[in-house]
Structure 1
Amino acid sequence: MLLYYFLIIIPALAVPFLLFSYLQERKYRNKPYYRLTDIGWRNFGPAADAQVVHSVAFLGDVGAFATDGTDPILHLLEEWHQTYGAKGTALFLGDNLYPVGLPPEGHRHRAKAVERLDLLMGILKERAGRSIFLSGNHDWNKGRADGYQRMLLQEQYIVEGLQDEDAYLPRTGCPGPVAIQLAEGLLLLVINTQWFVQRGEKPLGSKYGCPYEDIEGFFQELNAMLRQNRHQRVLVAAHHPLYSNALHGGKFTIKQHIFPLTAANKRFLIPLPIFGSLYPFYRQLFGAREDMSHRRYRKMRKRLLRIFNRYSNIVYVAGHDHNLQHFERHNNHYIVSGSGSKTSFVKKGGKATFTLEQRGFFVLNYYSNGEIWMETVAVGDNEVAPTIGSVVFRKELKSILQPAFAQQIS
């Protein structure tokens, strides 16, 4: 009798629930979600007399952009360069090349990877301003044991191509942090979060040119840098987000529960309701190495947040999930800007203030009056973004700064 209830009644209840949830989900796919207090964002903006001191464009996961001249993200990047010129920093947040980073000579993916890098660097070299690349899991050959060598190949290619020793950070795959003063009152810290989840060889210590022999030194140095710079705005750039309403944060679509084989191939539309939820539940509870639920990722996230929560002047920006998200937590701001070449599902609500499943990127403008305004630009001729480069969200990122003498305080 119990088996009868399980095989008949439970599926009979589950199927209508899944169908209803799917229909609700479809209503907000590809539409922006705004926190209630941010719905009227169009009515706000920087003061009319405020001048942009520095602008930072955050482009995550650009590694699959089109090379035939039609890619809208590259057109948006061109427009941003023309607007801000020498006052701009283009920051590429990792996964710069899909699917396996920059392979060695003779590899079947080598030619396409080189074509993409050459095209991108050709654009960057023609424009004023700074360009900085970070590495992501795909740049480390999706975290495989030989990923360190793949990352070094890409680093060398970009540094030589742009003729800039700071074009790829942190150097030699060290964890960081690396500090760059973008403008007076605006500091950039670059960290390598892939180090914490990487398998196989990964650099640490003087042998690799890293400044400390134990990873505990990274956390101590990061905390010291933040403590010494409590008087200015600090941008922390990495590949892996610390908050996310998307895949790597354990959020799945109803379709993924019903058709779990689409995780391997989008054409594998074989319905496996109930049993199909085992894979999403596994990713939520235990996770792959690139998921927040994985023990290594979880440990890294916990340590970073423990440090960041001591301060109130941080904007943390990452890619990894292929969408656009903003969170405001403990007086700091957390941004996911990972839809440089792909898009994927992002769940609305929760701790997020803004989410959007659409190609685009975030821009942070630092003004002469000390304010930082975040803008989200998206592509596509639709109701969300009527024109390529439409601003679909704007928000002032407020911080609580300490006086300059606070850097002396332990």
Structure 2
Amino acid sequence: MVSSFAFYALLVFAGLLLLWLLSRYMEERRYRRRPYVAPACNDWAMQPVPEEPPLHRVALLGDPGAVATTGSDPVLQLLEQWQQETGRSGTIIILGDNVYPVGMPPLHHPRRPLAEARFDALLDSLRQFAGNVVLLSGNHDWNKGRPDGWEYLRRQEAYVREKLPSAHYLPADGTPGPVTLQLAPGLLLIVLNTQWWVQRGARPAANAKEPFRQLRQLLEANRHQRVLVAGHHPLYSNALHGGKFTAKQHIFPFTTVHKRAYVPLPLIGSLLPLYRKLVGAAEDMAHPRYRKMRRRLLRVLHDFPDVVYAAGHDHNLQYFQRHGGHYLVSGAGSKTAFVQKGGQATFVHEHTGFFSVDFYPRQTWLRTLEPGAASEVFRVRLYPARAAAAPVVPLPKRLEHLLSR
């Protein structure tokens, strides 16, 4: 009797789960690869950009490690067009994962020729730029976080010093930072090596808490400037590393690791997305090391409104406005992956491209640039912030959490 009841209960549960997955799949088909803009910003195309030229522009390009090596990569072509429009009054920040799949292997390694070809294509596209070039490292540059990752990182940094000596590889030697670079009068860049906190094995010795104290001191001392903070790992995300998965990934869970790993595991397959959402691989927000780093960093940034934090890591374009600050995910330099619409996001798009932050004398604007006929698909004024259409009554934290899931 008990066993038959358990069987029917399991059958009902399986049916409900499959119905939920089917409804999710149909919903995802309607919005995937289409730009999502929060209702409050649906009039973005009508918002006038200042007529005067910007004082400085910053291109934020993340995860370009799989660019085409033939000279025909659409994102690099768009970046070169941005360079021509910008001139020397600009900065290009490469937000990590510069070489797929594992960074820069040793000489004579079978993967070394492809790594050099891909990295050379990226560096060649930056060579003629008259402005600043800054490169960060990501988890793939550290041999996907494996214990020998620091060796891979140092090889990549040495390669940049040889091939593009005018570029800044920050922070140097894999240290956590923060380090600063004055981009223009009144505009400061602060760079963190977020991989340091989640890296296994050897890494430069440092106190795990001290960088956050230093970051707070830097932000406090530079309240008179506009500040851009850059790191590889996002602090908000509606995508894979933020615990968001497609219905397909519940049925074919190994596609989260490789897009062509179509091994059907219905019902059982939901355990992997659940694991990555609640426990997390080392590159996921849910992982204890990542979670601790994120919590400490947000504790600092939430005290400094109008700061822009830019990251890559997830292969899409996302913008969040939280606690008066601005949080970007610009990891669509060479790959794309699912991103869930709505939640706390103002804008998301599963498409290649990058963000440009344009600093005018009295305003700061965010522009989303993508290869295609209409390269700009979204823009918003970051500073001063847009006035709200009506007073917003804050929701109780528990209700806000449930609605944003």
| TM-score > 0.5 by shorter chain | yes
Find the residue that maps to 2:377 and give its secondary structure. strand
Residues 326 and 382 of structure 2 are in contact (CA less than 8 Å); yes or no, is this contact kept in structure 1? yes
Contact 2:194 2:232 in 1 (8 A): yes
**Structure 2 unmatched runs, 5+:** 386-405
CA shift for structure 1 position 250: 0.3
Is the counterpart of residue 261 in structure 1 residue 244 in structure 2? Answer: no
How far is the alpha carbon of 1:399 from its aligned partner? 5.1
Query: Which of these residues, 48, 54, 59, is aligned with residue 57 of structure 1?
Result: 59
> How many residues matched?
382
Structure 1 match to 2:398:
none
Match of 1:210 in 2: none
Equivalent residue number for residue 157 of structure 2: 155
Residue in 2 that maps onto 1:250: 243
1:219, distance to aligned residue in structure 2 (A): 1.4
Please report how far the alpha carbon of residue 178 of structure 1 lies from its aligned counterpart in structure 2 after TM superposition.
0.9
Deviation for aligned residue 1:264: 3.9
SS in 2 for 1:241: coil
Equivalent in 225, 228, 240 of residue 232 of structure 1: 225
**2:20 maps to which residue?**
17
What amino acid is aligned across from residue 288 of structure 2 in structure 1? R
Q: Which residue of 2 aligns with 1:407?
A: none
For 1:196-211, what aligned pairs fall within 5 Å after superposition? 196-204=197-205
Letter matched to residue 396 of structure 1: R
Equivalent residue, structure 1, for 2:32: 29
The question of whether the paired residues in 2 share the 8 Å contact of 1:241 and 1:335 is answered with yes
Alpha-carbon distance in structure 2 between the residues aligned to 1:279 and 1:120:
34
- Compute the displacement of 1:181 (Å): 1.1
Inter-partner Cα distance in structure 1 for 2:200 and 2:370: 35
Q: Secondary structure at the match of 2:59?
A: strand
Structure 1 runs, 4 residues or longer, greater than 4 Å off: none
Partner residue in 1 for 2:271? 278
Q: Quick check: 2:67–2:121 contact (8 Å CA) kept in 1?
A: no
Q: 1:268 to 1:126 in 2, by over 3 A?
A: closer
2:387 pairs with 1:398: no
Partners of 1:232 and 1:399 lie apart in 2 by 14
Rounded to whole Å, the distance in 1 between the matches of 2:210 and 2:13 is: 53
**Unpaired runs of 5+ in structure 1?**
205-212, 381-386, 401-410
Q: Alpha-carbon deviations, 1:1-29, whole Å to 9, x = none?
A: 32231343222333222212201111000
Q: What CA distance in whole angstroms lies between the structure 2 residues aligned with 1:316 and 1:61?
A: 16
| Preserved CA contact (<8 Å) 1:248 1:291 | yes
Alignment root-mean-square deviation, CA: 1.4
2:395 matched residue in structure 1: none
Q: Is the 8 A contact 1:312 1:399 kept in 2?
A: no
User: How many angstroms does 1:131 deviate by?
Assistant: 0.8
Contact map agreement 1:45 1:394 (CA 8 A) in 2 = no
Q: Distance in 1 between matches of 2:260 and 2:192?
A: 37
**Of the candidates 136, 142, 145, which is equivalent to residue 143 of structure 1?**
145
- Pairing 1:105-254 to 2, within 5 Å after superposition: 105-164=107-166, 167-204=168-205, 213-254=206-247
Q: Structure 1 vs Structure 2: percent identity of aligned residues?
A: 53
Q: Deviations over 1:118-176 (max 9, x none)?
A: 23222222221111100000000000011001000000110222123x52000011111
- Rounded Cα–Cα distance in structure 2 between residues aligned with 1:218 and 1:198: 16
TM value normalised by structure 2: 0.92
Counterpart of 2:94, as a letter, is F
